[in-house]
């Protein structure tokens, strides 16, 4: 089975409510979907969101990288040569991790279809169900309290609370959320907004008031690994590295220096499943648990992340709420999302049969 061609399309879906962090605000998901076609009539799909504030990529740059560099290098190659295909994607262009991830996911989808197995089984896993948290966007404390109460009423047991925009309000935000959701598991994400000392002071104050936080994600700037390690050493709350980890080398550097207690793996940061698997292996060596997260993708790429999480026991925390935040689901097949519960079927590859509202870009 050879790859004979490709096509790019735009997937568009409004969010139920605006997604706000210390880095950005998004009201509408608009992602590039890549479809790879084969000589046997199979279609492999992957997806990439524009996240300029994190990866530096826009819709235009993703489209250009895929159409001009990545996908043409795959045409004519055998689907069975998975490692070579992933190597070709990695070497086709510098950076552009989300574009690479979309192409890699499509390649893995084709490989699973060729083998007649769902991706999670190819990766060695057996579980087919996960429970995700739900993100509460950074807002005024009263709004966040309402959003948290609504999430709990919908059955969510873990909440990821965005903080960091106007840090003086962060303690008030957590008080409001805790009052509205006293039994919920609460994780907070500062998205690089604090200084190291500010982070420690805020976290100490939060815990002193009984916020009972499970973890804090990326409290300081992504490249401030010394500051991240300082927070990890002095914080009463376990620290998760997110934007600091784009590659297996990033993960190894943090793990070797105990720069964080947890690692957040996102396919769009690390360029796809190949390097995500290497990060998982590094974390296994150091006995460190991982979270699987998303960059506000819709269901195509989130389904790939679900397969990875179902296959690897090191991934113990799940933040795959992108599809739940969308007001419509244009993807047919793939993972099933029912509130907090995510389940996989045994369809080959990703198990996706169509994307209903895809607008092709050629």
So which residues are the catalytic ones? 162, 266
| CA–CA dist 58, 84 (Å, integer) | 27
| Cβ neighbourhood burial of 346 (10 Å; 0-12, 13-18, 19+) | exposed
Alpha-carbon dihedral angle through residues 333, 339, 344, 347, given to the nearest 10 degrees: -10
| CA–CA dist 30, 134 (Å, integer) | 20
Place of tokens 């997937």: 11
Strands 25-38 and 3-20: antiparallel
| CA–CA dist 283, 286 (Å, integer) | 5
| CA–CA dist 109, 311 (Å, integer) | 15
- Give 14's strand partners: 28
Give, for 311, the enclosing helix (H) or strand (E): helix 299-311
Instruction: Give Cα 326 distance to the centre of its chain.
Output: 15
CA–CA distance from 227 to each of 1, 62, 255 (Å)?
Answer: 49, 32, 15
| CA–CA dist 288, 246 (Å, integer) | 17
CA–CA distance from 195 to each of 84, 175, 190, 220 (Å)?
Answer: 42, 21, 10, 6
| CA–CA dist 237, 216 (Å, integer) | 7
Cβ–Cβ under 8 Å, residues 290 and 262: yes
Sequence-distant (≥ 6) Cβ neighbours of residue 219 within 8 angstroms: 190, 192, 193, 194, 196, 199, 203, 228, 231, 235, 239
CA–CA distance from 339 to each of 123, 200, 329, 351 (Å)?
Answer: 26, 33, 13, 20
């Amino acid at each position: 089975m050879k790859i004979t061609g490709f096509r790019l399309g735009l997937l568009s879906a409004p969010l139920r409510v605006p997604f706000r962090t210390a880095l950005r605000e998004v009201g509408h998901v608009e992602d590039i979907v890549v479809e790879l076609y084969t000589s046997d009539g199979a279609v492999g799909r992957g997806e990439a969101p524009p996240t300029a504030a994190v990866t530096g990529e826009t819709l235009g740059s993703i489209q250009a990288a895929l159409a001009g560099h990545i996908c043409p290098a795959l045409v004519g190659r055998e689907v069975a040569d998975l490692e070579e295909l992933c190597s070709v994607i990695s070497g086709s262009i510098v950076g552009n991790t989300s574009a690479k991830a979309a192409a890699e996911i499509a390649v893995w989808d084709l490989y699973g279809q060729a083998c007649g197995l769902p991706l999670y089984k190819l990766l060695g896993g057996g579980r087919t169900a996960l429970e995700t948290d739900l993100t509460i966007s950074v807002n005024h404390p009263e709004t966040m309290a309402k959003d948290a109460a609504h999430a709990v009423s919908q059955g969510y047991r873990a909440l990821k609370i965005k903080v960091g925009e106007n840090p003086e309000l962060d303690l008030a935000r957590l008080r409001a959320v805790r009052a509205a959701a006293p039994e919920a598991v609460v994780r907070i994400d500062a998205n690089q907004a604090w200084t190291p000392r500010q982070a420690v002071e805020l976290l100490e104050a939060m815990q002193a008031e009984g916020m009972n936080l499970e973890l804090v994600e990326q409290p300081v700037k992504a490249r401030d690994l010394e500051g991240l390690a300082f927070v990890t050493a002095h914080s009463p709350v376990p620290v998760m590295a997110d934007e600091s980890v784009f590659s297996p080398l990033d993960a190894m550097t943090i793990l070797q220096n105990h720069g964080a207690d947890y690692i957040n793996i996102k396919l769009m940061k690390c360029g796809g499943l190949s390097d995500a698997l290497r990060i998982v292996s590094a974390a296994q060596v150091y006995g460190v648990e991982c979270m699987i997260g998303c960059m506000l993708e819709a269901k195509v790429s989130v389904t790939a992340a679900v397969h990875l999480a179902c296959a690897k026991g090191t991934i113990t925390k799940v933040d795959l709420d992108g599809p739940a935040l969308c007001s419509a689901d244009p993807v047919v097949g793939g993972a099933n999302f029912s509130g907090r519960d995510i389940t996989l079927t045994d369809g080959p590859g990703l198990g996706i049969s169509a994307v209903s509202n895809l607008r092709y870009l050629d």
